[in-house]
Structure formats: C-alpha cells, structure tokens
C-alpha cells in the first residue's frame, strides 16, 4: 500500500439514454488521490456527480473509462481485493424490515465472506449503540437507529476505507454528534480512511482535513480545508462604535461599508489589496471612538459558493 487509500485517474461515467432522457455524462475525467488515514470531504451541488463517484468506488456503478485503485488494488485487475478494502454507508435507508440488527450484520458479513470465527457483530452493535435492539425487527427501529445500522453494515469486513454518503442528512443533532464521534474514533483508533459527502459545509469544515469540490462532473478544487478557505480574499472588519454613528465614515476605494442593526459598522474588502490598518485609520480619522473590534474570516461556505456559482449551469 502506498500513501494513498484511493487513486482515481481519468474517471468518466456516462449514463445511457433511457426513454426520452438523453445520455448523461455524470463524470468528465476525474483525477483524485485520497491519502490513507484522511477524513476527506467530497462536496458539490446537487447533481454534481458525488454519488456516481462514490457508487463507482463501491462497485455499485460501472465506470465508462478511467482507473480506480482502492488500497492499492486496481478495480479492474483485483476486483475482489479492491472491494474488500472499502465499506459504504449509503444515503438511502435500504434495510430489510424483517431482519434484526444482529441478523442484518451477520448476513452482510456472510456476503463479504467473513468466516464466523472472525465476525465482530457484538463489537459493532456496541459501537453503534444498538446492543439493546440487537434482536428487534428492523421495522421497529427509528430512522436514527436504522442509519446507525447502515454504518454498522459498512463495517462488518473491517474495511480500510469507509465511504459515507450524506451520513447526517436529516438526522437530529444528538445522532449527528454520535455518528461523528463513532467516525472520528474509527479514524483515530483504527486508522480508517474516511470519505464523506455532506451538504453541511460547517460539518465538513470541522471534520475534514482535506476536501475536493466537484461540479458538473469535474473536480474544480482539491486542497486542505485550511488552504481552501485561505484562498478567499474577502475579509470583513466589524467595528462597534462607542456612540451611535449617523453617517458611515469615508473609506478608501474598494471598501464596502454597511451598518448593522446593532449599530456596528462593517467593512468588507480584499485582504490582498487593502490593509486592515488603513480601514481602522479611516474610522478614527472620522472622529469615531472604537469600543470593540472584530474580524470575520471567510468560511467553507463562501469558498463553495464562489467556486460553484462561477461556472454556470450544466
Ligand atoms: N442512473 C442514472 N441514470 C441516468 N442519469 C443519472 C443516473 N444517476 C445519476 N444520474 C445523473 O448524473 C448526474 C450526477 O448525479 P449524482 O447522483 O452523481 O450527483 P450528486 O452530486 O450525488 O447529487 P446529490 O447531491 O443530489 O446526490 C445528475 O445529472 C443525475 O441526474
């Protein structure tokens, strides 16, 4: 195994035409390397191609062309090994209602050819907090419990790479925290590489060390989360004046000024072009006494919006 858990080169996928629907090119030549041990975020607007990419990794969708290596195994050359190295928690709650969690995990382990003596069913039930429900029918489980069971099913063969497709979509905060605690633990204690898609950019910002942004079937950015956010040039300075200010002070060109409802003055400008000191100086020169001062840095949401909105529609 090299340093990368996943290596993707020139990956394309075109879904065939069906009925009145024309063929759809969902992936247009994706190159992507995901380092072993990472918590890696795959972000993009609806329809960008994230699920297609994940489903190809999982062996659920056939690629049209390109190379995929999972844990060093080429999907075309070593399909069995590459499949054994990856576990996928899908988006849909596709659980057989007549299986109990214990049975569902056992069946899944059987599908992966895990011998009975090597199964870790009890350990997984405990990790996902379903010990109490181990023998209840799945149809009696809450949505949150089913989701945890899906995570459990992805773990039966102890994969080195765990892929999570929107793991926390529509789940309450408590369950979200629990899922993340589980996932972080897997990453820290077992060194499992985690790849996830999420619509919660704040969550991606907190969880993922590295991120790829995919749009219209192409990777349009791939960097550490910090570096991606660092690319954004915008900065906002928020100044709370000692006394209410009627007319905002004159500013150097390129500074946008607004007054917030609480009376704070805010100034937005490009860090690369205007020094914060110059903005503060302009405020002081206008005779304003500053009570408090704060800056607002861009976040992942700003990066995402800027990158994905600049390319237009498909
Ligand atoms: N089975 C299919 N047949 C035809 N087109 C498909 C199929 N699956 C996906 N597509 C199309 O391929 C494109 C990419 O879809 P995909 O589901 O990969 O996007 P996504 O980024 O996962 O979106 P979402 O966030 O909504 O899940 C979309 O235009 C979608 O309509």
What 3 state SS string does 159-196 have? CCEEEEECCCCCCCHHHHHHHHHHHHHHHHHHCCEEEE
Task: Kindly tell me if the per-residue pLDDT of 212 is higher than 50.
Answer: yes
Q: Higher model confidence: residue 63 or residue 205?
A: 63
Which domains are assigned to the chain?
4-229 (3.40.50.300), 233-297 (3.30.70)
pLDDT tens-digit series, residues 147-178: 889 999 999 999 999 999 888 877 778 888 88
Q: What is the mean pLDDT of residues 55-68?
A: 94
Residue 40 burial class via C-beta count within 10 angstroms: exposed 0-12, middle 13-18, buried 19 and up: buried
Instruction: Tell me if 28 CB under 6 Å of ligand 1.
Output: no
Q: How confident is the model at residue 179 (pLDDT cuts 50, 70, 90)?
A: confident
Alpha-carbon gap, residue 52 to 63, rounded angstroms: 9
Place of tokens 């570096």: 227
Cα(118) to ligand 1 centroid in Å equals 37
Task: Kindly tell me if the per-residue pLDDT of 44 is higher than 50.
Answer: yes
- Pairing of the two strands 193-197 and 39-43: parallel
Alpha-carbon gap, residue 145 to 70, rounded angstroms: 29
Structure tokens, 36: 């072993």
Q: What is the mean pLDDT of residues 91-104?
A: 86
Nearest to 32 by CA among 7, 58, 64: 7
Residue 2 is predicted with a pLDDT of 54
Residue 14 is predicted with a pLDDT of 97
Which of 48, 90, 164, 213 maximizes ligand 1 atoms within 8 Å of its Cβ, making it the mutation to test the pocket? 48
Q: CB within 8 A of 167, min separation 6: which ones?
A: 89, 147, 151, 179, 183, 196, 198
- If you average pLDDT over every residue of the chain, what do you get? 90
Alpha-carbon gap, residue 295 to 236, rounded angstroms: 6
Structure tokens, 34: 């995901």
Determine the atom of ligand 1 nearest the C-alpha atom of 214. 21
Task: Kindly tell me if the per-residue pLDDT of 138 is higher than 90.
Answer: no
Nearest CA to ligand 1 atom 2: 15
Residue 313 is predicted with a pLDDT of 43
Q: How confident is the model at residue 312 (pLDDT cuts 50, 70, 90)?
A: very low
- Choose the most confident range, by mean pLDDT, from 52-56, 95-99, 175-179, 203-207: 52-56
Contact criterion met (CB below 8 Å) for 209 and 34 = no
Contact criterion met (CB below 8 Å) for 132 and 145 = no
For the chain, what percent of residues have pLDDT higher than 70? 98
Instruction: Tell me if 52 CB under 6 Å of ligand 1.
Output: yes
Number of H helices, E strands in the chain: 10, 14
Alpha-carbon gap, residue 238 to 120, rounded angstroms: 54
Q: How far is CA 302 from CA 113, 149, 159, 299, 308, in A?
A: 45, 34, 34, 5, 10
Q: Higher model confidence: residue 272 or residue 37?
A: 37
CA atoms within 13 A on the CB side of 172: 5
Place of tokens 């382990």: 109
Structure tokens, 177: 């925290």
Q: What is the mean pLDDT of residues 241-260?
A: 91
Reported in sequence order, the residue ranges of the chain that DSSP labels E, i.e. its strands, are: 4-15, 24-35, 39-43, 65-70, 73-74, 86-89, 161-165, 193-197, 210-215, 218-224, 234-241, 256-259, 265-270, 290-296
Residue 106 is predicted with a pLDDT of 96
Task: Kindly tell me if the per-residue pLDDT of 184 is higher than 70.
Answer: yes
Determine the atom of ligand 1 nearest the C-alpha atom of 44. 21
């Amino acid at each position: 195994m090299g340093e990368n858990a996943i290596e993707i080169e020139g990956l394309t996928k075109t879904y065939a035409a069906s009925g009145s629907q024309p063929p759809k090119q969902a992936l247009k030549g994706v190159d992507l390397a995901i380092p072993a041990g990472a918590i890696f975020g795959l972000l993009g607007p609806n329809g960008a191609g994230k699920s297609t990419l994940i489903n190809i990794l999982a062996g659920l969708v056939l690629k049209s062309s390109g190379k995929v290596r999972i844990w060093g195994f080429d999907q075309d050359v070593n399909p069995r090994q590459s499949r054994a190295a990856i576990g996928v928690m899908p988006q849909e709650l596709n659980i057989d209602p007549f299986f109990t969690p214990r049975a569902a995990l056992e069946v899944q382990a059987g599908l992966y050819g895990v011998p009975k003596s090597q199964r870790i069913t009890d350990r997984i039930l405990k990790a996902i907090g379903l010990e109490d429900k181990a023998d209840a029918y799945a149809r009696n489980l809450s949505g949150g419990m089913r989701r945890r069971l899906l995570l459990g099913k992805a773990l039966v063969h102890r994969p080195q790479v765990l892929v999570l497709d929107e793991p926390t979509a529509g789940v309450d905060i408590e369950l979200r925290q629990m899922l993340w605690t589980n996932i972080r633990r897997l990453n820290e204690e077992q060194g499992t590489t985690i790849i996830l898609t999420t619509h919660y950019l704040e969550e991606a910002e907190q969880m993922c060390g590295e991120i790829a942004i995919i749009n219209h079937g192409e990777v349009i950015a791939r960097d550490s989360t910090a570096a991606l956010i660092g690319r954004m040039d915008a900065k906002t300075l928020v100044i709370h004046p000692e006394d209410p200010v009627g007319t905002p002070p004159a500013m150097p060109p390129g500074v946008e000024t607004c007054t917030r409802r609480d009376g704070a003055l805010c100034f937005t400008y490009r860090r690369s072009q205007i020094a914060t000191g110059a903005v503060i100086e302009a405020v002081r020169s206008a005779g304003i006494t500053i009570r408090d001062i704060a800056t607002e840095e861009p976040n992942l949401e700003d990066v995402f919006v800027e990158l994905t909105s600049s390319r237009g529609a498909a």
